[in-house]
Chain A
Amino acid sequence: MIRLTDVGKTFRDTPVLKNLSLHIAARDRVALVGSNGAGKTTLIRCLLGEYGHSGEVRVAGRDPRIDRALVLNKIGFVPQLPPPLAMPVAELVRYASGVSGADPMRVRQVAARLGLAWGEVAARPFVKLSGGQKQKLLIAIALGRDTEVLILDEPAANLDVEARHALFALLAERDQTAMIISSHRLDEVASLVNRVIELDQGQVVLDDRVEDHLEMTGFLAAELTVGRHEPAFAKMMDEWGFAAADALVWRGRVAGPDRLRFLCMVSRYAGLINGLHLDGGET
């Protein structure tokens, strides 16, 4: 679906992407991670045809710089920072739907699932909405039409808990769509992705496919040792189906596809963990 070959981008003699090559298949759900300045946003802008670059970018076999409209019709995009658009919400939706040939009603339906009351916001200028409302609307515009690729830059940053759940449910329904989810919080998107790509100084330094190492039906035996009893941790382990061997040792098993999400969850208690052992041989 997406193929980048030796893609490079330089701003005033400073290379931001360095001969980056990558292939993302139709059902890949990629968490794009990396520190500030790693090149995530530049990579996304190259995919959207907004930056010129060296090398080759292809989305569904086409160059986004040349076949812009065709390529972008296959891509739904949610930016990290909402644009300061003065136009009313209804006008933005009408325009976005108009240029993409989509049905505005679908955008409204997705917005409703995310908890955005259309009647309240339709006539208001986009820029006057709250951060969460803006985010919901941009997500609704991206998901309110049929796309083959979704590029979401920190999509859950401004969402409340309910809207996050709704977003994750909406994304889970798109099982045939390639996704690139850029996020600083890997734990937040861990349940959605099956691949993690880490960028550092314009290069791919990690490309980890979760299902590479384990069958989708496989399990890992896990044992955690903690330094002290912590009720929140105990509750969470209980939710994961772990049993306490004694007050400080927890044993259980983790489904292969959940490995990343489990480790992200455990990382929140890094100060508590004295030992962690995963054994991948279980089926």
Chain B
Amino acid sequence: MNPMILTARLDIQESLRSRWFLLFCLVFGAIVSLLMVSGLTESRVMGFTGLSRLLVTYIQLSMAILPVFILITTVRSVSGDREAGVFEYMLSLPVPLRAWYWGKLAGRFAVVFVPVFVAMSVAVVWGLVRGLDVRWGLFAVYTGLLMALCLCFLGLGFLISVLARSPDIAQAAAFLIWLVLLLFLDLILLGVLIQEQVPPEAVIGIALVNPLQVFRVAALVLFDPQLVLLGPAAFLVLDSFGTVGFLVWAMVYPAALGGVAAWVGYRRFRKGDLL
């Protein structure tokens, strides 16, 4: 069998046994269950109705939790394995480095994306059972966004794991990156920037390169985009980009960012000491 597939399968099986994966599934399962139980599908608030409201709430919560979860668990397991001597042995086996690296990334993508997607799908099935109107276009957009988000932060996680020589440093760096991205969200730093009358181009630029901000806006863009919901920077961005253009950007840019980060990590991994 192809060594990359073997490595991906091994990583998936390792993750399925781990406690972080159990917690991961519990968290997202609990989010969807709570949203369903709390009756969000029945409510109508600020333009969102039924299942759409449930989905938009779910995607917002995912955006808050998923990045930090992916970053921390990825850097912990990759750097931890290297420090514990797992790499010394596993990389003495005749597996090509590209198969090892990309196989691990593919396996990890499957284990972070599938539970989140399944949880969202369960919500949709629940909606169908209850006879609610399902907006399949929205479901497809959210699936794409979740995939892009997983790829983005997995790529960043792998890059950090390669660059940092110890699990502690890797974990601290991962947390710091997440915090910086969080600070540059609309409602926090971008709001301040606008208050201080920073040129709109700079605000738009920052908003467009922050994957968290991109996801946040993209999750809301299919609804009635009001300033009070989106925040000032997102409103500006959407005004200049347009809905379709922004949705394309929201999927392509984070995926490309993650892909480039993973590729830089691979180049560095291949050139430096593996241990």
Report whether B275 and A68 are in contact in the complex, using a CB–CB cutoff of 8 Å: no
Report whether A73 and B84 are in contact in the complex, using a CB–CB cutoff of 8 Å: no
Report whether B92 and A48 are in contact in the complex, using a CB–CB cutoff of 8 Å: yes
Report whether B91 and A73 are in contact in the complex, using a CB–CB cutoff of 8 Å: no
Number of residues on chain A facing chain B (CB within 8 A): 29
Report whether A81 and B10 are in contact in the complex, using a CB–CB cutoff of 8 Å: no
Instruction: Name the distance in Å between A70's Cβ and chain B's nearest Cβ.
Output: 8
Q: Which of A70, A72, A91 contacts B10 (CB 8 A)?
A: A91
Residues of B within 8 Å of A143, CB to CB, are none
Residues of A within 8 Å of B13, CB to CB, are 87, 91
Judge whether A192 is part of the interface by a CB distance below 8 angstroms: no
Residues of B within 8 Å of A82, CB to CB, are 89
User: What is the chain B residue whose CB lies nearest that of A101?
Assistant: B94
Q: Which of A51, A72, A84, A91 contacts B92 (CB 8 A)?
A: A72
Report whether B88 and A50 are in contact in the complex, using a CB–CB cutoff of 8 Å: yes
Report whether A83 and B84 are in contact in the complex, using a CB–CB cutoff of 8 Å: yes
Q: In the assembly, what is the distance between CA of A77 and CA of B90, in Å?
A: 10
Name the segment of A21-29, A92-100, A176-184, A265-273 touching the other chain. A92-100
Residues of A within 8 Å of B130, CB to CB, are none
Interface range for B:
20 to 34
Judge whether A45 is part of the interface by a CB distance below 8 angstroms: yes
User: What is the chain B residue whose CB lies nearest that of A81?
Assistant: B85
| Contacts from B to A (Cβ < 8 Å) | 1, 3, 6-7, 10, 13-14, 17-18, 84-97, 99, 271-275
A87-B17, A96-B93 are known contacts; what are 10 more A-B pairs with Cβ within 8 Å? A50-B92, A50-B273, A51-B273, A52-B273, A71-B94, A72-B93, A77-B89, A84-B84, A85-B89, A87-B13
What are 17 inter-chain pairs, A to B, with CB distance below 8 A? A45-B275, A51-B273, A52-B271, A68-B96, A71-B94, A72-B93, A72-B94, A81-B85, A83-B89, A85-B86, A87-B10, A87-B14, A91-B13, A96-B93, A98-B1, A98-B6, A99-B93
